[in-house]
Chains A and B, each alone.
Chain A
Amino acid sequence: MTKNYNLFNWIPYLRKSLMTLILVALAVFSGMSQTTSVKTGKVIDETGLPLPGVSVKIKNAAGGTMTDGDGKFSLNADDKAILTFSYLGYDMQEISAAGKGPFNVSLKPNQNLMDEVVVVGYVTKNKSQIVSSVSTVSADKLLDVTSNSTSAMLQGKASGVNVSSVSGQPGSGTSIRVRGTGTLSSGSEPLMVVDGVIGGSANPRDIESVTVLKDAAATGLYGSRAANGVLVITTKQGKAGKTKIDYSGSFGVNNASEGNFKVMNGQQLRDYSSYMYTNDYTGKRSAYIKELQGTIPNPTEQQINDYLTSKDLATTLPGYLNGFMPETPLNTDWRDLAFRQGYTNNQALSISGGDEKTRFYIGTNYYDEQGTLVNTDYKSFNFRTNLEHKINDRFKVTARLNAGFTKTNNDPSGALGQSYTNSPWNNPLNADGSPRYVDANTPNWYGRDKNNFPFVSQYNRDNSRGQNLAADVKLEYKITDWLNFATSNRYTVTNSRAERLIDARTPAGKTNGGELYNAYGYTNSFITSNLFNAAHSFGKHNLSGIAGFEYQKNYSDGLIGTGTGIFPELGAMDATAVMKSLAGARSMSKFVSQLFMGDYNYDNRYFATVSLRNDASSKFGSNKRSGLFYSFGAGWNIANESFFKSEIVNTLKLRGSYGVTGNTPPGDYAHLDLYMANVQYGGIPGAFPRSLPNPNLTWETPTTINAGVDIGLFNRIDLSVDAYQRTNKDLILDRPLASETGFYYSTENIGSVRNRGVDIELNTKNLTGEFKWSTSFNIGINRNKVMILHKDEDIDRGYQRVSVGRDLNSWYMQEWAGVDVNNGKPLWYTTKTDGNGAKYTTTTSIQEDADLRYVGTSTPDFIGGLGNEFSYKNFSLNAFINFVSGSMVYNSDRELFDADGAYPQYNSMLLKKGWSRWEKPGDVATHPQAVANGNNNSNKPSSRYLEDGSYIRLRNVTLGYTLSDKVTEKLKLSNVRFFVSGDNLITLTRFSGMDPEVPLTTEGNNSVGVVGTKYPISKKVLFGVNVSF
């Protein structure tokens, strides 16, 4: 637990110090003498261990000290004095200072979870005082899964927070949605705040806690960027006392998970292809013979053969089949060639400590993950140091430095796609065992694309490196007892370099002698946040507030170059012969904001909060440059009421809030009318009209109403229920224009989307004896509805359509009606008009006639997580499950692999259990007849490939063993724990594809919820040890 400097907690002390002053003055003037002597003692916690850093003070008097590393203290006090012992998280104790001592005290931890301290961004509050909707995830709950990504670790840990990974490749990103998606084209990711300043990043091992701010009362203070929620990350800080050294190391193996998706082996593929091509040959042969009979009524076999040959058709079936498949098929397992067992190695060392004036934390982390797909890996090294120093009673300075370095290797050979599309009939190796060179002119290589990635893999390269440096300096100045001023400043610099080499020896490289691509990127960002922080109390009234301003500037530039004609083995631009292309972008944006927040509480029973923020940004149009965002919140802590006395209910609090935040457009210059000058013709630079101007372009405005109740029962059950409604107005949409006008869209603020839902978090301590069991459960139910669009006109988005009255991600495509029992053709639903003009629904085998219909949405019905923690003596067992239910996911892979013969040269997927293929009239089957080159467009996008994407995943299981105190003491260590942990071991789903976890981002106008071939997530098993010195 961190020691906090929140003025609010100092209020009782402030009042008391005033009193103290008067008393001392009186004492001095009255000349009364006192008997003071040195009082010593020791403070221990409930387990008997010494407690360093405990504040020992004299009640109602000046003077105080802190316990040292052994829990001991020494203090001058009068015999009549009362000594108070306080420590965050523990109940305060008072003992009389009379006598010689020793004054030993045992402190008991605070049972009331409501006194937990939560960092809500700009300030820290006690959980009992929060009137907004927040979820907190502590470090130990965060660090169960082994990953280098904080967002990935958040999956399922906070209600209403949906985290989805785009790919299982180590180092790849994730997308986060808090309480559903409320926008179409602006960002949907929550705002990241690290250590009180917007922006920044933190290595997971350096994180103390993560708080997710969900409603407007919590996020209001972040104004125009808070529409999607805020993730507040607090990094670790040292504690006064003995220097702590913590080592954590783990190592394990990764294996790719395949889901339910499997492709055919050599014999299965041959049987499948042979069926199709036999029918094809029979049809063609009879058609030609019939044609021949037009001129020669009874042709001889020789005449038939001659005619077929003149038409380029084989004269026998085996001869025809020979053109498409081998007699005896090989059985190459391409997936086996493309995937391997990888490893994860995670090493972290941190040192922290300090004294009353200075505290420090140093954290280092080395993370190395070898991916399961060949040629992929990720290494990262992170260094952080947090330093805090009280210069004197008035000034305190904090400095933080975070440096991160990453190196990523991507697969340059196309192994992922080829692992499924390549035909098992091919041998990837030469007779001598070396990889075979294969290109479009290679004979005897089966398959539509002539690719052999093992060959390319030897020579091509695709890698990137990144650096991220952030420096924070914060100066706090205590102006008066109730007012202080803090200036927080952060400067961040990132650098990245990406390189791709297509070697001259590879098929692609042969065309132009090899190609080298380099891309350099640079960003810097400066933010200064200057706040006055005040707190004051009058009787039972407590007031506090912050006010101030922020300024932020972001800049980025980059350079991309491609050169061709480079000798094998070389890798610098100097070595290329022809400069093929040169490009580079540059961009800047600025924000200026003023903010104010006020908190009021009466006797810790009634709470109210108001926040206001004025943002002005260079991204908005000149007419709407600045905007005011506000929120109100109120709460009633019923459990603190004098009339409320219950043994069972220890916490009862009601909360409500209302507020307006904003969402900023993604581009930096979207409001200007621009002629893009990045084109040329015949060597002369030109410019083309890119966008229509919109001086009114401004932020989107989500308005959120939230009502919540926190109930605590038996001091063992903790329940939070929140109901919310968030309406995102003024959505930035590319309003479609008739293309004949020369512009096919105009960027405007139109449209509105509403999200409604319920978030529930339940934490229970089921068993608390020697065998402990506690559960944490969260579930988020969200319903999404589009409220307004420009003139209520629908917007097409790939396979989805945005339409008023429907979910934002509604699938709009042809509706599959199964297979025609009589002829094995595909069927779709269509609407026809009968003789009387009435419309009726029927089926058709003509794909162009099928109607487009709304056939479901990709938004889940509910998402959540369930964690269980068991401990018995030195053993502990954690299991965490996350689940998503009710989303309809489009498996785009099936357009290729489940295509009924439309791609006869690719491999095909095996039919899942319950699927069947039509073969003769009368067959009732799920799949149409397999026909060479396709069966009536049966593989075109339709609800056929729309599947239930619900899943339950055992995200993590960890079994741990902590060495007993006796042993650790002998080793002169403070704590040793061994553990074995497994990630993603089991996924239960009916989804037929690789992974039902869908990317939540959309690129441009594409649909959300489409899953294709993706880098699969890894099942990991790791062994590790944590040692504290």
Chain B
Amino acid sequence: MIKKYKLAVALLLILSATSCKDSLDLKPYNALTSDQVVNTVEGLTAATIGTYTYIKDSYYMRNYHMLSEYASDNVSLSGTTTGPLFYAYNYRHLDNMGNTEQIWRKGYQAIYGANVVIEKGVPGENLEMNQLIGENYFLRAMLHFDLVRFFGRPYTDDNGESLGIVLKTNTDVNELNPRAKVKDIYALVVSDLLKSIELMGSTKSNIFASKEVAMALLSRVYLYMGNYEGAHEYADKVIKSNRYALVGSANLASYYTVAPGGDQKMQETIFGIKHDAKDDRGDNSIGSMYFTAGGDNSYGEMYASQSYRKLLDKFPNDLRHAFVRPNYEKDKDGNIKLDGNGNPIVAKRNGYPIYYVMKYSYQDNIETLSSPVILRLAEMYLTRAEAAIKLGRPDEAFADVNLIRERAGLKGQELFSASNMMGYTDMLDVVLDERRLELSFEAQRKFDVFRNKRTMVRDYPGTHLPSGQITQEIPYTSPRVIYYIPRSELTVNPKLIQNP
């Protein structure tokens, strides 16, 4: 009796023990396996969205902005900080800065994401697939172009002969490649953009890539390469495509507070990275360093530099003053204090006058929300103007420069002409200064200075100045024009050679 009982119990136990094994194969609730992704159009679309989100991620977007704009002469930092953005700002680079590590990693993760779709997608199937593959070519080009400008010397230095970044056009996770030359990277960028122009249509909203977006980027690539024919050709194509229009003077001040995307035609933004309320990064946003309403969500430590303001103040009625907002001292009742001459007193932080930059704040009325603009129509006019001058046709530049200036509310003698050069002797200086005025704080100035073989002159107050110094000057030959390859990458890939 007892024996039978025992047998039954033992059998039951053994049965239950063995039957449990199969159910050990558990799948997560919030992820897909790569099989599900690469074999369907829906999966590849999801993967492409995934690549856009890599770019949207602050590890990429925020660092991209800070590594470029903070090294320019448009900005002035009012305090020292523990963040690695400080080293980007004061040119005292380290080889283990968090921001360069992050952008290197994120950039290549996004490149991988694009390569998956390029490898698995079959072009020619239908328009939707073509558009998708084209978008990935565009993204791969843009990512290589961005990374090579941080870690490889400007193309115009030596026609791209110096070392750039690692070229990656496949999904092999085991290969270790050395750095390709800058010119090879640019060659890939150009060829990818040309392919994407062929594959893509012109209908998708401006938060995604489409034909004219690729053309606009190509015009900038050619400009940076010194290929002024190409720069002129493609800037011209974008302007003549009639897909975009400059936002009117009346709406200029609120331009950056309107999110890109949507069905609205004839916007000025050619390509912007859309951020929703869910993407609000709070104090980790680009806008938080530039402006604060006073709360804890934003820092407001980086201001428009004295030298930028001097350029802007040449014409006090320049509508672009809307993007540089002085913070006035107020008395107890909230009225602005005036000095002896009746001028309002600008408040100071740590002794530095506060001039907030307003291009990254208040999208949809959320203080720190913004969708950074990568390409817009104004840049096309300025590119066309600069290319024309470099091609020996300076007279063509007047029309384009004045179009931008008119939109900024300037008129009559405030516009340039052969007889009214306002103290400039070289038309190139006119265009470069206009480019500086218009595209300020949009991550372009640093590259514009060095690709034109000029010196970055920062003779204004800010914490880039060591104690007792009054100016910082970085010639275009300086090794610190570019960043060190992150040390952790050299440890893993010994084929990489460090920058001097």
Any chain B CB within 8 A of the CB of A103? no
A869→B104 CA distance, assembly (Å):
61
Determine the distance from Cα of A441 to Cα of B292 in the docked complex, in whole angstroms.
8
- Do the beta carbons of A675 and B50 come within 8 Å of each other? yes
User: What CA separation (Å) do A578 and B366 show in the bound complex?
Assistant: 11
Q: Identify which of residues 133-147 in chain A touch chain B, using a CB-to-CB cut-off of 8 Å.
A: none
- B500 CB to closest chain A CB (Å) equals 12
Does residue A569 face the partner (Cβ distance < 8 Å to B)? no
Question: Which residue of A284, A590, A616, A742 is within 8 Å of B26 (Cβ)?
Answer: A590
Of A279, A687, A741, the contact of B47 (CB 8 Å cutoff):
A687
CA distance A794 to B30 in the complex (A): 33
B470 at the interface (CB under 8 A from A): yes
- The verdict on B418 contacting chain A, using a C-beta distance below 8 Å, is no
A439 lies within 8 A of B53 (CB) = no
A508, A589, A674, A688: the one contacting B54 at CB < 8 Å is A688
Task: Chain A residues near B80: list those with CB within 8 A.
Answer: 902-904, 933-934
> What per-residue 1/0 map shows which CB atoms of A893-914 lie under 8 Å from chain B?
0011000001111000000000
With A675-B32, A688-B47, A741-B168: A507-B109 Cβ-Cβ less than 8 Å: no
| Binding stretch for chain B, among A339-347, A348-356, A364-372, A677-685 | A677-685
8 A-B interface contacts by CB (under 8 A) = A439-B296, A677-B32, A677-B46, A686-B50, A687-B31, A688-B54, A743-B112, A796-B491
For the complex, give the distance between the alpha carbons of A538 and B353 in Å.
Answer: 94
Residues of chain B lying within 8 A (CB to CB) of residue A848: 92-94
Taking a contact as CB atoms under 8 Å apart, the answer to whether B300 and A324 are in contact is no
Excluding A323-B351, A741-B173, 17 further A-B contacts by CB distance (< 8 Å) are A284-B470, A440-B295, A479-B5, A480-B2, A506-B295, A548-B13, A581-B278, A585-B30, A590-B24, A617-B24, A625-B24, A679-B49, A686-B48, A688-B53, A740-B165, A740-B493, A742-B173
B176 touches A738 (CB 8 A): yes
Q: Which residues of A contact B32 (CB under 8 A)?
A: 674-675, 677, 687
For residue A323, which residues in chain B have a CB less than 8 angstroms away from its CB?
348, 350-351
- CB pair B294–A737 under 8 Å, yes or no, is no
B263 at the interface (CB under 8 A from A): no
CA distance A668 to B165 in the complex (A): 36
Q: Are B49 and A681 in contact (CB under 8 A)?
A: yes
Nearest neighbor of A443 in chain B, beta-carbon distance = B329
Known: A673-B33, A674-B31, A793-B491. A441 touches B347 (CB 8 A): yes
Q: Is A676 a contact of B30 with CB atoms below 8 Å?
A: yes
Of all chain B residues, the one with the shortest Cβ separation from A591 is B24
Given the interface contacts A675-B46, A740-B168, A742-B115, does A324 sit within 8 Å of B351 by beta carbon?
yes
Q: Choose, from B14-22, B195-203, B399-407, the stretch at the interface.
A: B14-22
Contact B46 A687 (CB under 8 A): yes
* A739-B26 contact in complex given A312-B461, A675-B32, A682-B207, C-beta closer than 8 Å: no
- Interfacial chain B residues near A625, Cβ < 8 Å: 21, 24
Q: What residues of A have a CB within 8 angstroms of the CB of B353 in the complex?
A: 312
- Residues of A723-766 contacting chain B, CB below 8 A: 736-744, 746
Contact mask A766-784 → B, CB, 8 Å, 1/0?
0000000000000000000
Indicate whether A511 reaches chain B with its CB closer than 8 angstroms.
yes
Query: A324, A439, A681, A684: which has the most chain B beta carbons within 10 Å?
Result: A681
On chain A, the residues within 8 Å of B115 by CB distance are 742
Task: Write the chain B residue with the least CB distance to A314.
Answer: B351
Whether A592 contacts B34 in the complex (CB less than 8 A), given A580-B278, A686-B50, A931-B467, comes out as no
Bound together, the chains give a CA A688 to CA B49 distance in angstroms of: 8
CB-nearest residue of chain A to B38: A675
A192 to chain B, nearest CB (A): 23
Contact call A448/B350, Cβ cutoff below 8 A: yes
Asked, given contacts A549-B13, A736-B488, A933-B467, whether A681 binds B52 with beta carbons under 8 Å apart, the answer is yes
A169–B306 Cα gap in the complex (Å)? 47
B123 at the A/B interface (Cβ < 8 Å)? no
- CA–CA, A903 and B83, complex, Å: 13
Q: Are B82 and A895 in contact (CB under 8 A)?
A: yes
CB-defined contacts of A284 to chain B, threshold 8 Å: 467-470
Are B25 and A741 in contact, CB atoms less than 8 angstroms apart?
Answer: no
Bound CA span A689–B116, Å: 10
- Nearest 4 Cβ contacts at the A-B interface: A283-B468, A742-B112, A686-B49, A508-B296
Indicate whether A587 sits within 8 Å of B28 (C-beta atoms), given known contacts A592-B17, A686-B48, A689-B112.
yes
Chain B residues near A684: list those with CB within 8 A.
45, 49
Known A551-B20, A796-B488: A683·B33 in contact at CB below 8 Å: no
CB neighbours of A3 from chain B (8 A): none
Q: Does chain A have a CB within 8 A of B111?
A: yes
A891 at the interface (CB under 8 A from B): no
- Interfacial residues of chain B within 427-480, with CB under 8 A of chain A in the complex: 461, 463, 466-470
Cα separation A922 to B464 with both chains bound (whole Å):
30
Is A669 an interface residue, CB under 8 A from the partner? yes
Q: In chain A between 414 and 450, which residues have their CB closer than 8 angstroms to a CB of chain B?
A: 439-443, 448
User: Chain A residue with minimal CB distance to B105?
Assistant: A739
Which residue of A509, A626, A675, A682 is within 8 Å of B33 (Cβ)? A675
- How many A residues have CB within 8 A of the partner chain? 100
Contact B26 A618 (CB under 8 A): yes
In whole angstroms, what is the CA distance A585 to B2 when docked?
Answer: 49
CB under 8 Å from chain A, chain B span 254-299: 261, 274, 276-278, 280, 292-299
Chain B residue, CB-CB nearest to A394: B2
Report A330 CB to chain B, min CB distance, Å: 19
Q: Which residues of A contact B (CB under 8 A)?
A: 279-280, 282-284, 286-288, 291, 311-312, 323-324, 439-443, 448, 451, 479-480, 485, 502, 506-512, 530, 548-549, 551, 578, 580-581, 585-590, 592, 594, 616-618, 622, 625-626, 668-669, 672-690, 692-693, 736-744, 746, 793-794, 796, 848, 895-896, 902-905, 931-934, 937
Instruction: Tell me the nearest residue of chain B to A450, going by C-beta.
Output: B294
CB distance from B118 to the nearest CB of A (A): 13
Contacts of B104 in A (CB 8 A): 739
Give which listed residue, B30, B56, B298, B367, contacts A677 with CB less than 8 A: B30
| Residue with the highest number of chain A CB atoms closer than 10 Å, among B24, B51, B54, B108 | B24
Instruction: Please determine whether A680 and B49 come into contact, CB atoms closer than 8 angstroms.
Output: yes
- Chain B residues lying within 8 Å of A688, measured Cβ to Cβ, are 47, 50-51, 53-54, 109, 113
CB atoms of A794 and B46 under 8 A apart: no
A512–B296 CB distance below 8 A: no
Chain B positions within 8 Å of A288 at CB level:
470
Given contacts A740-B168, A743-B112, A793-B491, contact A689 B50 (CB under 8 A): yes
Output the least CB separation between A888 and chain B (Å): 21
Residues of A within 8 A of B488 (CB): 736, 796
| Alpha-carbon distance A291/B468, docked complex (angstroms) | 13
Q: What B residues does A681 contact at CB under 8 A?
A: 49, 52-53, 56, 207, 274
- A669→B28 contact, CB < 8 A: yes
Nearest-Cβ distance from residue B378 to partner chain A, whole angstroms = 23
By the criterion CB–CB under 8 Å, are B31 and A739 in contact? no
Contact B47 A312 (CB under 8 A): no
Q: How far is the CA of A685 from the CA of B52 in the complex (A)?
A: 11
Question: Once bound together, how far apart are the Cα atoms of A586 and B52, in whole Å?
Answer: 25
Contact B295 A508 (CB under 8 A): yes
Q: How far is the CA of A744 from the CA of B103 in the complex (A)?
A: 12
Q: Which of B13, B116, B166, B330 contacts A740 (CB 8 A)?
A: B166
Residues on A with C-beta less than 8 A from B292 are 439-441
Complex Cα distance, B21 from A622, in Å, reads 11
Inter-chain contact B208/A682, CB cutoff 8 Å: yes
Which of B47, B113, B296 is close to A507, meaning CB atoms less than 8 Å apart?
A: B296
Smallest Cβ-Cβ distance to B52: which chain A residue:
A681
Kindly list chain B residues whose C-beta atoms are within 8 Å of the C-beta of A692: 173
For the complex, give the distance between the alpha carbons of A617 and B280 in Å.
39
Complex CA–CA separation, A675 to B48 (angstroms): 12
Cβ contact of B470, chosen from A311, A587, A672, A689, cutoff 8 A: A311
> A674-B28, A687-B37, A689-B116 in contact; A680/B53 too (CB < 8 A)?
yes
Q: Is B489 an interface residue (CB 8 A)?
A: yes
Instruction: Known A511-B297, A618-B25, A741-B174; judge A679-B468 contact (CB<8 A).
Output: no
The reply to whether A682 and B491 contact each other, CB–CB distance below 8 Å, is no
